[in-house]
Amino acid sequence: MPDTSPLAVCVGEGLVSLVPATAAPLEDARTFHRSLAGAEWNTAIALASAGIRTAVISRVGDDGFGRFLTAELRRHEVDASAVEIDGEAPTGLYVKELSPRPDGSVDGTMHYYRAGSAAAAMSPATLASPPASALLSEAVLVHTSGITPALSDSARAAQDALFAERRDGRLLSFDVNWRPALWRGREDHGRTVIADYARRADVVFCTRPDADAVFGTDDPDRLRALFPEPRYLVVTSPDGATAFDGAERTDSTALDVPVVESIGAGDAFAAGFLAGILTGLSLTGSLARAHRIATRALASTRDHVD
C-alpha cells in the first residue's frame, strides 16, 4: 500500500563534496572522500533519518556525480523522482579544505565549482514538472533556503513561485543561509531578497552571525520584532538556540559532545526542529530533537547525517 504519512519536500541545490582524508592545505592533500552536500539535501537526509517521509526537487547533470547524488538520496530513503537530469550542464561540486584546531576539531573552508551547474538552471518549469507538481500537491512542509535565489535568476524565479503558491495546511520553511560570495557586488539586494522570503515563510531558521550580517542584529527579541510574520523563528548559535512560536519563547543549550567539524550541523538542526513540529512535539521538544540530530552532523567531516 502507498505510504500516506506526512510528506516533507526540500527544494534546492545538491552538490558533491570532496573532503581530504587529512587536515592539510589543498596542495598537500592527496586523497579525497566523496560525499553528498547542499543545504536542502542535507536537511532532506536528516528528515528521513528522523522518520519523516521526504523528497527532493532539484536538478543534476547527466554525469557520474549526478548519478552518485541521486543514488545517495535513495540510499537514505529520500524520494528522488523529481530530481531532473540535465544533459548539458554539469553537477556542481565543492572541495573542502580542512585545517586542524588545537582542541582536536577541524575548520572547514569550502571552495565551490558550481557556476553554470544543472542546479543553477532550476526554474519554475522544474516545479511544474509532473513529478515535482505531484510532490508539492501532497506536501505538508516545503523547505528551502537563501542559497537558491542567489544561484541564478531562474532559480530565484523558482523560489518566488514556491512562495507565491501558498496552500492551507502546508508549512513553508526557510533557512537564511547567507552566502555573501553568491551575492558579491549585490549584497544589499541579497539582504532585501532574503528578508522578503523570511517575512513570507511559516518557519525561519537563522544563525546569529547570519542575522547580524543580513538584518543588522543577532538579538533574538529584536529579530522577532523585525519578523513577526512567521509562526516559528529559530535563532541558533554554537552554544544553543532561541525559538519562537508566536509570542512564546524558548531557549535551549547545545549538547556537550565532541565536535569534529560543524559544517552541515545547521541543516541537521533544522531537520530535527521540523521533524518535531511535524510529529506534534512542543517547542521545547522540537528544540531538543534538533540538538540531538545536529550532534550527528558534528561527529564527522561529512555535511549530512548518516
Q: Which of 79, 210, 267, 303 is catalytic?
A: 267
Q: What cell numbers appear for 141 in the block? A: 512542509
How many Å from the N-terminal Cα to the C-terminal Cα in the chain?
27
Spatial distance between the Cα atoms of 170 and 282, rounded to a whole number of angstroms:
18
- 155 C-beta neighbours (distance < 10 Å), count: 23
103 catalytic residue (yes or no): no
Task: Give the residue numbers marked as catalytic.
Answer: 267
